[in-house]
Chains A and B, each alone.
Chain A
């Protein structure tokens, strides 16, 4: 579904300028687009991380909507509390508005330290949307590896060096883990195609219940990519099938985008400084491994979504 961009420009922005995220950061693009997809008032719970820290440096707040930061691992538990308070007070007739509850967490606060509280909140069935802005590392503290960091990426706790090529392990598949909770709506999204994220946010909110969207959001600083390519790099992530776009709605898996051509993973890796060391002759095998993983994961997604893929050469 396409949105009318001109109409959207009339909406009130709930994340205002004056925030101190890096120039070109993917996170505020994710937040702006997600919030534009929600008509109702929104209460936000935000895990510790780049988004939280850079938007609320006391005495300034870039949020023109109710917002709470509690700690690193508990965005989901915090929103559970707020959402339950809403239901309790609404039941008693103290609140009459329709309010939506959204939690934002980075991959750090969601894949790793926040996994437990996310799982608990999903299992309890709270009415909320959890959006993970996945920039593939603990970027706020200077690019340490997370469970979301891809193989071969250079991070400060799994650095590339003379005897190491970066992170040896594969990424955790959090979207599939969340889908395993059999909640009403789970999706993987990013900043490309234009309305993919907004469509998914709107769907999740309209569906109600516990919902989750995993959004690939570039960290231009630590992916070491030209800030101007922030949206472009997500397009490459989609076209190389590094980041398949799919939804799981009531346990039905649906693939949203099939690239027309087979684009080798190198196209995604090349513009990013965090993968530069992989292009040395001694590390080329890692690129081959990454390509193999990408292809295998894509085949698994095809199986889960019941799709076939015939790319043009």
Chain B
């Protein structure tokens, strides 16, 4: 396959998202600033002010109103996008659920940042992990390049008639959002053709066929509406790969449920999402040079969770360590519990260790990751949740 020569820019993750938004040119964006997402909205607003996109911006007075306005606009048949982080996402929590339950294909870029308190503006995944039951599709990006491309995938996935669910695309706060990377951009026309026209299922503006959105469900109907959402998620899992394949034809890259790094002949592996996977790859490279059979599995699609496929992949291994960038106080960390449950369902008796790292932007160094691989290889896995980079 010949991949064409494309424009490359040295830009931040936030700028990459803004560029993706410019190319998508949504009808409406309702957003509120919060570190470290603010640059997305700032950059995009400047693009609109310069006539590079003809999006109608709603400079709302809170994130709760941001998602509320997105719901109103999407219900009115517009293509709608937004962005937020941390407490902004937490504030819109109520409406995040409503957006998914009302089956509105909103696309939201989330720049992962720790939830308060204490207030912390740096990266961890506590914000989006708190939304994992909301009914949104969740895609995590390791790099700005991935985040940029995932936005197009997300839009097509959201608007697919078998799905019709909102999608959030994540990237690590400051690490990716503010780090400068060389990002290869698609042409405006390529994006336009890929995303196509949005044809809403039902619209408030179709006044000849009035629709009622958001009725009161008593105990006789709510359950059925929720079961529909379960079905939509099942379809999303399939459609994610289908749309990914189509996008591959343009970018030459792959969009699997998870990335596999040296897993073919690995004996042990670390499972980790987002930018920390990059650091882990460097450690894998180093240990592989020493002849150690280590590998990395980097989940990209977190909701719907590709349990069977991950279990299939990890089931052959001797031991696995899951690195979570968030904790679930009182129980196991989110990614860890998903992985363990997946293996159990597949009847794969692989020991899994849980490590929590990076909370509130605590850096993860290769020196922190190496001992994890050593523990996996030696079989001396900690029984309890352990912490990387924490001062005891």
**A residues with CB within 8 A of B:** 41, 43, 45, 52-53, 56-59, 61, 63-71, 73-74, 77-89, 91-92, 95, 97, 99, 116-117, 119-120, 123-124
Question: Which residues from chain B contact A57 at a C-beta distance below 8 Å?
Answer: 215-216, 218
> Is A77 a contact of B64 with CB atoms below 8 Å?
yes
Q: Is B231 an interface residue (CB 8 A)?
A: no
Question: Which residues from chain B contact A79 at a C-beta distance below 8 Å?
Answer: 72
**Most chain B beta-carbon contacts within 10 A, residue among A63, A71, A84:** A84
Question: Which residues from chain B contact A71 at a C-beta distance below 8 Å?
Answer: 68, 94-95, 98
Proximity bits, B145-156, A CB within 8 Å = 1, else 0:
000000000000
Size bracket, chain B contacts: 35 or more
Q: Give the complex CA separation of A64 and B61 in angstroms.
A: 32
Question: Which residues from chain B contact A56 at a C-beta distance below 8 Å?
Answer: 212, 214-216
Task: From the candidates A58, A59, A67, A85, name the one contacting B27 in the complex (CB within 8 A).
Answer: A85
Q: Which residue of A lies closest to B55 (CB)?
A: A88
> Is B217 a contact of A67 with CB atoms below 8 Å?
no
Task: From the candidates B30, B55, B76, name the one contacting A43 in the complex (CB within 8 A).
Answer: B76
Which 10 pairs from chain A and chain B are nearest by CB? A81-B72, A120-B61, A81-B69, A85-B78, A69-B214, A77-B68, A81-B73, A85-B76, A74-B68, A77-B65
- Using known A-B contacts A82-B72, A99-B207, A117-B61, determine if residue A70 contacts B212 with beta carbons closer than 8 Å: no
> Is A69 a contact of B68 with CB atoms below 8 Å?
no
> Is B65 a contact of A116 with CB atoms below 8 Å?
yes
* 13 pairs, A vs B, C-beta closer than 8 Å: A59-B215, A66-B204, A67-B211, A69-B213, A71-B68, A79-B72, A80-B60, A82-B72, A84-B69, A84-B78, A95-B205, A120-B60, A120-B62
> Is B213 a contact of A67 with CB atoms below 8 Å?
yes
Q: Give the complex CA separation of A41 and B213 in angstroms.
A: 17
> Is B65 a contact of A120 with CB atoms below 8 Å?
yes
Q: Is B54 an interface residue (CB 8 A)?
A: yes
Q: Is B210 an interface residue (CB 8 A)?
A: yes
CB B213 to nearest CB in A, in angstroms, measures: 4
Q: Is B75 an interface residue (CB 8 A)?
A: yes
Question: Which residues from chain A contact B64 at a C-beta distance below 8 Å?
Answer: 73-74, 77, 117
Question: Which residues from chain B contact A88 at a C-beta distance below 8 Å?
Answer: 27-28, 54-56, 73, 78
Q: Is B165 an interface residue (CB 8 A)?
A: no
**Most chain A beta-carbon contacts within 10 A, residue among B28, B64, B69, B221:** B69
> Is B72 a contact of A77 with CB atoms below 8 Å?
yes
Q: Is B320 an interface residue (CB 8 A)?
A: no
Q: Which residue of A lies closest to B206 (CB)?
A: A66
Q: Give the complex CA separation of A270 and B212 in angstroms.
A: 40
